[in-house]
Amino acid sequence: MSHTSAPARLGFLYPGHAAEDDYPLLGSMVEPPAQVTLVHTEFLEDAHTVEALSEMGSVSRLSKGAEALAGSAIESVMWTSTSASFVLGLDGIRQQIDTLEKLLRVPASTTAMAFARAVKAIDAGKVAIAATYPEDVAQRFREFLNHFDIEVVHLASRGIETAAEVSTLEKDEVINFALANTRNHADALLIPDTALHSVAWLTDLEKATGKPVLTANQVSFWEALRLCGKLTPQSGLGRLFESVP
C-alpha cells in the first residue's frame, strides 16, 4: 500500500449529541487514518418534525457551526444530518452547501446528498429504506431520492421522535430492524439517521441482510473523503467502500 497521500483532514457539523462517536471511529478504521474535526451545532428542539428539523438545518445554525471550524485546516466539510437536509428540499440543500463552501472555502455536502451519491456509486437502481423517523419525515426522504431516479420499493418508519432515543438503539435492535426491512427486489438497504450508531456493525449488517447496506454516518464519511479526493478502497466499512469508481 502506498503512503504517499497525507491523511485526510475532515470537518463535520453534527447536531447535538447522539452517535457522533461514529466519526472518530471511522477516522481510525480507514487507511491511512483520517483526522476528524467535529463541531456540535445547536437547535431549539430535538424532534423529528419538519418544523424542528428545518430550524436545525437553517443557514444561521450552519453558519455558527462553520465559524467553529474556521482555521482548522480541514479539506472538506459535511453537514451530518440526513433529515435536517432533505426536509428542506433540493433548494434548501443547495443553500446549506453554498453557505458552508463560502464560509470555509472547502468542498461541502450534506448526508442526504451523500446518500444519493452513494446509491449511484454502488449502482443500486432500487432501494429499501429502514427509517427511524416518523412516517411524514420518512416520506420526504423517499421524495428526495426520487429526484435522482432512485426507486424506493419499500419504506418503513419506526416512528421515533427524538435523536436522543435513536442513539440508544443497540446492535441487535439495529440488525433486526435492517433484517425486517430487507427486500429481495431491492439492490440495497438504506438506514438514514446520523443519530443511529452503525459503523461498528457495517459488516454484520451486510452479512445479516445479504445486501449492500448504506447508513447515514457511513455515507457521510465516504462523501467527506470523496470531496477532498482522498477516497480509496477500504475493507470492513461495507461494500460502498470496497470499490471506488
Q: Is the pLDDT of residue 22 over 90?
A: yes
> What is the chain's mean pLDDT, rounded?
95
Mean pLDDT on 61-82: 97
Residue 128 confidence (pLDDT):
98
Q: Is the pLDDT of residue 244 over 60?
A: yes
Hey, what CATH topology would domain 121-215 get? Answer: Rossmann fold (3.40.50)
Residue 245 confidence (pLDDT):
65
Residue 5 confidence (pLDDT):
72
- SS3 of residue 31 by DSSP: coil
Q: How far apart are CA 121 and CA 205, in angstroms?
A: 19
Q: Which residues make up the CATH 3.40.50.12500 domain(s) of the chain?
A: 9-113+218-237
CB atoms closer than 10 angstroms to residue 56: 25
Hey, what CATH topology would domain 9-113+218-237 get? Answer: Rossmann fold (3.40.50)
Mean pLDDT on 83-96: 96
Q: Which residues make up the CATH 3.40.50.1860 domain(s) of the chain?
A: 121-215
Give the distance from CA 127 to its chain's centroid: 16
Mean pLDDT on 208-224: 98
- Residues in contact with 102: Cβ distance below 8 Å, sequence separation at least 6, in sequence order: none
Q: Is the pLDDT of residue 23 over 70?
A: yes
- SS3 of residue 242 by DSSP: helix
Model confidence, pTM: 0.96
Mean pLDDT on 161-177: 95
Q: How far apart are CA 174 and CA 24, in angstroms?
A: 20
Q: Is the pLDDT of residue 138 over 60?
A: yes
Q: Is the pLDDT of residue 64 over 90?
A: yes
Residue 55 half-sphere exposure, CB side, CA atoms within 13 Å? 10
